[in-house]
Amino acid sequence: MLNPDGVYLGNYRCSLMGFDLNRHWQDPSPWAHPTLHAVKQLIVQMNQDPKVSLEFYIDVHAHSTMMNGFMYGNVFEEEERGQRQAVFPQLLCQNAPDFSLSSTSFNRDMVKAGTGRRFLGGLLDDTSYCYTLEVSFYSYMTAGSTSPVPYTEDGYMKLGRNVARTFLDYYKLNNLIDESKLTGHINSPFDGTSTSHQGNNAGNGKFKGDRKPHGVRDY
């Protein structure tokens, strides 16, 4: 939580001083943006520590106009790095029926250079993956559905569990889950332990399947 004072006042984007904190990662002020300044220093220190492997940075935001959960990622010159970056969203789509792979997009426009995803994507090496996970303020639609379903606190928490499940998939640690305890939950539209869902590809994004992600939308 990098915006505690703003959130306390009811703001969803700006801090107490009126700053959109996700535009000041390049040069955060210890006075005006203290949380960003501290976290940036921590990440830089971790990145310089040979004992630390900093592999993922995921900045979680609410989205005020689009539905479902989806991700923004970066664009790289190296095609192989871009393909590796696309793996996590594809895996998440398999676990979360409210995650939209087609709304997931990748860009490197300069307007967003001050975001955490963009700045850290340029700072960290090619073994690190930086994303923004956006989740709708209000609703989601699953594949084949005809009407939106309102998000609830429980729905957001289940999406979080599905993100955790995706890390197990990514690192091939599914053996840590007792599959015998999953009986009766397979049809739950949000359950973090579900293995049968194929995610939601509905939306207006340009990212499709295993094609190379590219900067087609500005976020």
Residues 45 and 84 in one domain: no
The distance in angstroms from the start CA to the end CA of the chain is 21
Q: Is the pLDDT of residue 185 over 80?
A: no
What is the pLDDT at residue 187? 38
Give the per-residue pLDDT at 96.
98
Task: Please compute the mean of the pLDDT values over residues 75-81 and round it to a whole number.
Answer: 91
**Per-range mean pLDDT, top range of 38-42, 208-212, 214-218:** 38-42
Q: What local confidence, expressed as pLDDT, does residue 207 receive?
A: 36
26 and 74 part of one domain: no
**Residue 9: per-residue pLDDT:** 94
Q: Where are the beta strands (DSSP E) in the chain?
A: 56-63, 69-74, 105-107, 129-136, 139-140, 149-150
Whether 161 and 201 share a structural domain:
yes
What pLDDT is stored for residue 200 in this prediction?
63
Q: Which domain holds residue 12?
A: 1-52
Task: Check whether residue 21 and residue 93 sit in a common domain.
Answer: no
Q: Is it the case that residue 120 has pLDDT exceeding 60?
A: yes
Same domain, 48 and 64: no
44-69 pLDDT, tens digit per residue, is: 999 999 999 999 999 999 999 999 99
Rounded to two decimals, what is the model's pTM?
0.81
Looking at the fold, whether 35 and 123 belong to one and the same domain comes out as: no
Both 126 and 28 in one domain: the answer is no
Counted domains in the chain: 2
- 119 and 213, same domain (yes or no): yes
Nearest to 12 by CA among 174, 136, 171: 136
Q: Known catalytic residue: 153?
A: no
pLDDT tier at 111, thresholds 50, 70, 90:
confident
CA distance 177 to 168: 9
Report pLDDT digits (tens) over 159-184. 999 999 999 999 999 887 776 655 43
Residue 78 has pLDDT above 80, yes or no: yes
What average pLDDT does the structure give for the chain?
Answer: 84
Q: Which of 37, 52, 67 is the last residue of a domain?
A: 52
Domain co-membership, 14 together with 78? no
Beta strands in 64-137 (DSSP E): 69-74, 105-107, 129-136
User: Taking a C-beta distance cutoff of 8 angstroms, is the pair 46, 52 a contact?
Assistant: yes
**Active-site residue, from 77, 78, 79, 134:** 134
Shared domain for 59 and 36, answered yes or no, is no
